[in-house]
């Protein structure tokens, strides 16, 4: 490809290369891109337009919502609901599936999204993002809950957008992973990171060490070995990173390798896991695998997990394949 390839051009050229990709799908991606540009603008304006801080409400998971959680969710829904490309949507911020009103046409896709991942970081000016996943809908009429509960391996597209020093979109349609940077002057995402690949070896890990007392033995063993450094069984030193923003963690791993763990923990039996399968784990797992990495719950491949609910939580271990495989081995021993 030539220099300065826009995301729109990239999608169209990929559509020609893979005839199964429809024009409707391309238009759907363009709708998502437009919504993320609006979100980027809102995040960048921040307190200048009074959108930071708590909204004084909770989402379906019982988490305190930020003003931008609600605003970004409305942007995603309003941008997608009328287009005729979707049969339904699901959002981390909404209890039930979002139906397309009867006065709008319906398409053959379902969209699931976390409109503002890492929103707890927004008030301290750290990187946040939007995560999305697209599934096929083969039914007719209004989709039901069971239509959304597809394994991650059934995704036809996944991506996330980082709102940080620059705005970037990381995208896969099942043919590798590519990164695009928003050129604010022309309002277009430009291909800047083609064919992203995760190094198979790493000496970097990311985990919330404050939860150490609640981890299961396999995770404790892995982290203890990393911390032991050259004098330990691994025979080398490791660096630790922790941003508490999934999109930022995954992007770092895509660019320089590493492993990220948000494992099962024993602190609260009602909430043994933090991250949502449908809106967070499945999309990033699709991206990570397409980039040559691995993603697991510790006990099974993430993309093989059969969803049981729209807001189901799962342990998440992803990154450089050799390290993820080691952690899986520790869970099996």
Tell me the pLDDT tens digit for each residue of 207-258.
999 999 999 999 999 999 999 999 999 999 999 999 989 999 999 999 999 9
Tell me the pLDDT tens digit for each residue of 323-333.
999 999 999 98
CATH of domain 204-332: 3.40.190.80
Write down the pLDDT at residue 51: 56
Known binding site: residues? 92, 114, 116-120, 208, 274, 280
Closest listed residue to residue 112, CA positions, set 143, 141, 66 = 143
Write down the pLDDT at residue 65: 60
- The pLDDT tens digits along the chain (333 residues) read 447 899 999 988 887 876 666 678 889 999 999 999 999 988 887 665 455 555 455 455 555 566 888 889 999 999 999 999 999 999 999 999 999 999 999 999 999 999 999 877 767 777 899 999 999 999 888 999 999 999 999 999 999 999 999 999 999 999 999 999 999 999 999 999 999 999 888 899 999 999 999 999 999 999 999 999 999 999 999 999 999 899 999 999 999 999 999 999 888 877 778 899 999 999 999 999 999 999 999 999 999 999 999 999 999 999 999 999 999 999 998
What architecture is the 7-195 domain classified under in CATH? 2-Layer Sandwich (3.30)
Q: List the structure tokens of 260.
A: 């990220």
Please state, as a whole number, how many other Cβ atoms lie within 10 Å of the Cβ of residue 146: 9
Residue ranges covered by each domain of the chain: 7-195, 204-332
Write down the pLDDT at residue 47: 64
Contact 62, 198 (CB under 8 A): no
Known binding site for substrate: residues? 117-120, 208, 274
Rounded to two decimals, what is the model's pTM?
0.93
Write down the pLDDT at residue 176: 96
Three-class SS string for the chain?
CCCCCEHHHHHHHHHHHCCCCCHHHHHHHHHHHHHHHHHHHHHHHHHHHCCCCEEEEECCCCCEEEHHHHHHHHHHHHHHCCCCCEEEEEECCCCCCEECCCCCCCCCEEEEEEEEECHHHHHHCCCEEEEEEEEECCCCCCCCHHHHCCCHHHCCEEEEEEECCCEEEEEECCCCCEEEEEECCCCEEEEEECCCCCCCCCCEEECCHHHHHHECHHHHHHHHHHHHHHHCCCCCCCEEECCCCHHHHHHHHHHHCCEEEECCECCCCCCCCCEEHHHHHHHHHHHHHHCCCEEECCCCEHHHCCCCCCCCEECEEEECHHHHHHHHHHHHC
Known binding site for Mg(2+): residues? 92, 114, 116-117, 280
């Amino acid at each position: 490809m030539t220099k300065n390839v826009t995301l729109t051009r990239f999608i169209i050229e990929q559509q020609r290369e893979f005839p199964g990709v429809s024009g409707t799908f391309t238009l759907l991606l363009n709708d998502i891109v437009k919504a993320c540009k609006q979100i980027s603008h809102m995040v960048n304006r921040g307190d200048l337009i009074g959108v930071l801080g708590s909204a004084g409400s909770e989402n379906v998971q019982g988490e305190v919502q930020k003003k931008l959680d609600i605003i970004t969710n409305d942007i995603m829904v309003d941008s997608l609901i009328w287009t005729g490309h979707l049969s339904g949507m699901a959002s981390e911020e909404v209890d039930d599936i979002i139906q397309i009103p009867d006065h709008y046409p319906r398409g053959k896709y379902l969209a699931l999204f976390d409109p503002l991942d890492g929103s707890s970081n927004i008030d301290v000016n750290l990187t946040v993002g939007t995560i999305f996943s697209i599934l096929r809908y083969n039914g007719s009429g209004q989709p039901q809950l069971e239509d959304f509960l597809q394994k991650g391996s059934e995704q036809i597209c996944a991506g996330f957008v980082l709102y940080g020093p620059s705005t970037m979109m990381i995208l896969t349609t099942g043919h590798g992973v590519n990164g695009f940077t928003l050129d604010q002057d022309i309002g277009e995402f430009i291909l800047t990171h083609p064919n992203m690949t995760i190094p198979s070896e790493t000496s970097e890990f990311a985990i919330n060490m404050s939860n150490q007392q609640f981890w299961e033995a396999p995770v404790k063993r892995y982290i203890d070995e990393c911390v032991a450094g050259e004098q330990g069984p691994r025979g080398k030193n490791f660096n630790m990173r922790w941003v508490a923003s999934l999109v930022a963690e995954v992007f770092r791993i895509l660019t320089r390798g590493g492993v990220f763990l948000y494992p099962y923990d024993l602190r609260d039996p009602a909430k043994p896991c933090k991250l949502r399968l449908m809106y967070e784990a499945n999309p990033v797992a699709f991206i990570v695998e397409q980039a040559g990495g691995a993603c697991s719950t510790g006990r099974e491949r993430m993309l093989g997990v059969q969803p049981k609910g729209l807001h189901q939580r799962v342990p998440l271990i992803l990154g450089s394949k050799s390290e993820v495989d080691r952690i899986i081995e520790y869970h099996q021993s």
